[in-house]
Structure 1
């Protein structure tokens, strides 16, 4: 798939260049003759026709036909730089950069002085990692175009990619000699001097900026930050103090000073600077959220003074009550503290303020799912779909909610509705979606459609462990295609050998095959890896023990399953009759 509008633009651009005389593009028969005078008269007529017809078709938007003409023109005249340049542009649009590179190398070799051929060659060489060719191409361009000092920037990038940092710096300085001191160039030179471990020259570069722009407080802060990062705390504070005399309430200065006090271990002044930054009306909300995110990360890492976070959020919400990003960040912090109810409250405000934000809805539904508030999951999903009806993830969450309520017909219905909104290129989501649909179909009682959905899920992601596990478990329950169930479950165990749920499934497949000894081994492994809290797993282990003749031990595990909250309908009969019954 390629962009026809982009190719049309390239053709028109080439045509305009021809008429402007920038390069040897062909516009008239006389110009064609000038470039193709080594051709026979007959070949020159053919070339003229194919090339000009290609240009005409391109202007009409008939791109495929135009390039057929150009390819025929190239076959007639293998030395036409114009055609090779046009074809190179075409192959770039087709995402075939190597073919384009070969074409433009030929074009630039044939017409060495052409600026546009040289630029495409240099850029493609750089993008494809051919830094030697890129260096040569940029050097040629600079030599031929002394009025374009900005070319030194691209040459410097090439040197930097090669690890030749001093040459890169020299190229930047040549550019500065013509264009003056500029922040982006200075910052690049600072990075390169740091890479060369020449800190003094890096500092000197920022000092040049400060001298050139004495009223720009940001450069003082920048130099202070570099000093702070290099553990030169006193010099950092000197820069911050100079900046503070110019603008004491500058938000970025407050953040930098906060980092300084944090480095010095002065927690009180650290928090004070954070508070001043967050209350500063000159700082935009996005920056404040970043400041608070960094601060929270520090608090959570050190696991101290977490109460300060709640106060900061309260102050920030009072100042910016309509900014949903603050509520979202607050919810994330609350979730880190396992305060799900409170997090849900903040997310509810976020979705009210930004109802078209899919991520907020998914977070809210996830919190409600965690709380077991399934009605809230479904209610939130219904409301979300009024704003974003094409969000397949919302349908999937709602399907899970209905399934957990054992309302399987509604689960199937909502999941079927969502299928049309799946992005077929998102294999992970599509696989999970059909896996959920398969679970719901099976529990609804439509097993054939369930297995069909599982197959569809695995078609999009053959290593989806959740689908492989559930598919193999349901096959085992039905004693259906047990060899396939064993293979799929075995694949899951290879991926996650310590997951007790997956080990239980593998054991259950062996149980249904009558291989009770292997089933016991894998169930013991599952119990040792945390499965001793699962009522289903405990019941399965009791079933295996019974089949192995260990009836008393089987009863013990059936009792444990009962005490663990088992919902198995046959478990009470097993305990009462001291006998195994199938589900």
Structure 2
């Protein structure tokens, strides 16, 4: 027989209940009548058996044993308590509450019973009842600060913030200024908008232990985060008197000076922070990350850049330093250098998915798709359940026209994507493109429809789905609806206007298509990278409307622009539409 003593509290509970059984029998028997010696022995045997099952974590089998003990001594509060605990383990909280209530009714002075009942009430969100139980416990043990603190927590759950503050005040009168209580009071005061009172509480904590630097740091942070930065300065100066090398105080002063526009003092404080040789590289890297979010002028950026370079040189094996260096290089426009630093960071610590994301995004921006494949597959090895890396891998394979591999990765990305994730629509969109490239049109259509279900306004899907349907001359009404929605959203986008016009062309509605293509050509002429296809489509519409000479003129223009269909020369030579 194996007993599983998970922790000392379980053992103490068992001993408590066992002793409580004996106590309750003596106490309760005076009220309810005497039990015979054999009855008590039988009840104790059943109770011990139930306790054995409880210790073995076989809670289902413990219940009947406890119940048999209760049948013999039905007014035994200790058994009520044991059953309540047992039902709590079975997650049958209503029954647990019922037996805890009976235990308290039978022996209202037993604090353990009250504590259990209050805890169960809180779990069932019965905050008013829980507060009353704590009130009874406090009445019996007015000097026990823990009960006042627990009652305050219940009041917070019940949104009774003023009552919570009163409970914390009572606890504080018993134990004096206490960090945990002060933090909770500040949290409540901030929640109800009493910032000044929260600051006063922080000052009490600082005064209780003036040499505790953490208290002063927290007070300064509270002031700074609530637009009282000037009041924070004395706290920071006091910290630096106690410890001139305190890097955090220097960094906070740097932030204050940055807010005031005094970048010279800001940079000086930052350099003092980094002069602390006891400050490890990871902490310095974290400080720099905060600083980088503050800097706006070029001189400060250069300061940050030099500090990071120095940090990387001194700590070549610190991954965070390389990651931050990569961020700064990216800000400077050095995408390749940034990617190389991110790679170094990943080689030193593979566990940061943001770094892998940066690497792969840089690969795409550098048009190094092969690298994107390699790096996304490395990321997948570390994070096999991250849908984003499967999506990026599929995107890379799609760009390499390896559509079979792209589908494999994209389908895995779809399977892993969290429900309602913004990424889901993009996965379905690319699946639609990929299946279309494989001529698996039914699957392509299904993917596009799924993408639109996630986001009915996805421009990429509205454009590609409607255009591919027009090329296949299928579901043209649906294609028209999608393309029309697209041009309503983007009336000045030449590509989208061309898509809608081409759908109308396929539907043989040439008159309606013409003005959209005229506008598309006009916008196309203004672009640096013009599209010959748009101009060619305009010529096709003109030909269908009987304007042959104008059509040929547009075809010639399209040929000069380039990127046309392979039929353009034949159209010009024969001066007729070739389809």
The TM-score normalised by the length of structure 1 is 0.73
Maintained 8 Å contact 1:15/1:55: no
Question: What does the per-residue CA deviation read over 1:443-462, in whole Å, with 9 as the maximum and x for residues that have no partner?
Answer: 1344455456657x559957
Q: Partner residue of 1:272? A: 268
In structure 1, C-alpha distance between the alignment counterparts of 2:223 and 2:409, rounded to whole Å: 58
Change (3 A) 1:230 1:577: same
Q: Does 1:111 align with 2:103?
A: yes
Deviation at 1:288, TM superposition (A): 3.2
Change (3 A) 1:21 1:193: same
Q: Does 1:481 align with 2:475?
A: yes
Deviation at 1:275, TM superposition (A): 2.4
SS in structure 2 opposite 1:168?
Answer: helix
Q: Partner residue of 2:365? A: 370
Q: Partner residue of 1:187? A: 183
Maintained 8 Å contact 1:408/1:444: yes
Please give the residue correspondences for 1:427-576 in structure 2 after superposition, counting only pairs within 5 Å: 428=421, 432-433=426-427, 435-451=429-445, 461=454, 465=458, 470-486=464-480, 489=482, 493=486, 500=493, 508-516=502-510, 519=513, 535=531, 538-539=534-535, 542=538, 543-544=540-541, 547-548=544-545, 566=563, 568-571=565-568, 573-574=570-571
In structure 1, C-alpha distance between the alignment counterparts of 2:46 and 2:136, rounded to whole Å: 32
In structure 2, C-alpha distance between the alignment counterparts of 1:554 and 1:172, rounded to whole Å: 85
Count of paired positions: 554
Structure 2 unaligned segments of length 5 or more: list them.
34-42
Change (3 A) 1:575 1:368: farther
In structure 2, C-alpha distance between the alignment counterparts of 1:268 and 1:9, rounded to whole Å: 62
Q: Does 1:328 align with 2:357?
A: no
Change (3 A) 1:366 1:180: same
Deviation at 1:274, TM superposition (A): 1.7
Question: What does the per-residue CA deviation read over 1:53-96, in whole Å, with 9 as the maximum and x for residues that have no partner?
Answer: 99887776677x669979x99xx99x97765664455447xxxx
Change (3 A) 1:66 1:535: farther
In structure 2, C-alpha distance between the alignment counterparts of 1:315 and 1:521, rounded to whole Å: 62
Change (3 A) 1:204 1:571: same
In structure 1, C-alpha distance between the alignment counterparts of 2:303 and 2:554, rounded to whole Å: 48
Maintained 8 Å contact 1:85/1:103: no
Question: What does the per-residue CA deviation read over 1:316-350, in whole Å, with 9 as the maximum and x for residues that have no partner?
Answer: 32233222223323434444555433322222222
Change (3 A) 1:235 1:355: closer
In structure 2, C-alpha distance between the alignment counterparts of 1:149 and 1:206, rounded to whole Å: 20
- Farther-moved stretch of structure 1 (52-61 vs 337-346): 52-61
Question: What does the per-residue CA deviation read over 1:252-297, in whole Å, with 9 as the maximum and x for residues that have no partner?
Answer: 1101221232233321011111222244333344543443233322
Q: 1:157 aligns with which of 153, 156, 161?
A: 153
Please give the residue correspondences for 1:6-405 in structure 2 after superposition, counting only pairs within 5 Å: 17=13, 20-21=16-17, 86-87=86-87, 90-91=90-91, 100=93, 102-103=94-95, 106-112=98-104, 113=108, 118-119=114-115, 122-123=118-119, 131-146=127-142, 148-160=144-156, 164-193=160-189, 202-228=198-224, 235-300=231-296, 305-336=300-331, 338-384=333-379, 392-405=387-400
Q: Partner residue of 2:39? A: none
In structure 2, C-alpha distance between the alignment counterparts of 1:212 and 1:150, rounded to whole Å: 20
- Farther-moved stretch of structure 1 (179-188 vs 551-560): 551-560
Maintained 8 Å contact 1:538/1:560: no
In structure 2, C-alpha distance between the alignment counterparts of 1:175 and 1:210, rounded to whole Å: 19
SS in structure 1 opposite 2:211?
Answer: coil
In structure 2, C-alpha distance between the alignment counterparts of 1:51 and 1:528, rounded to whole Å: 91
Deviation at 1:249, TM superposition (A): 0.9
Question: What does the per-residue CA deviation read over 1:184-243, in whole Å, with 9 as the maximum and x for residues that have no partner?
Answer: 322333444566776665454334333332322233344444455566666533333322
Maintained 8 Å contact 2:127/2:154: yes
Change (3 A) 1:55 1:480: farther
SS in structure 2 opposite 1:321?
Answer: coil
Deviation at 1:479, TM superposition (A): 1.9
Maintained 8 Å contact 2:216/2:235: yes
In structure 2, C-alpha distance between the alignment counterparts of 1:23 and 1:485, rounded to whole Å: 79
Maintained 8 Å contact 2:351/2:382: yes
Structure 1 unaligned segments of length 5 or more: list them.
1-7, 39-46, 93-99
In structure 1, C-alpha distance between the alignment counterparts of 2:497 and 2:352, rounded to whole Å: 39
Change (3 A) 1:217 1:358: closer
Q: Does 1:423 align with 2:416?
A: yes
Maintained 8 Å contact 2:487/2:497: no
In structure 2, C-alpha distance between the alignment counterparts of 1:537 and 1:148, rounded to whole Å: 83
Change (3 A) 1:267 1:516: same
Change (3 A) 1:450 1:347: same
Q: Partner residue of 1:42? A: none
SS in structure 2 opposite 1:406?
Answer: coil
Change (3 A) 1:358 1:464: farther
Question: What does the per-residue CA deviation read over 1:373-430, in whole Å, with 9 as the maximum and x for residues that have no partner?
Answer: 22222233355456556655444323322322334345446657x57x9426556456
Change (3 A) 1:91 1:279: same
- Farther-moved stretch of structure 1 (539-548 vs 432-441): 539-548
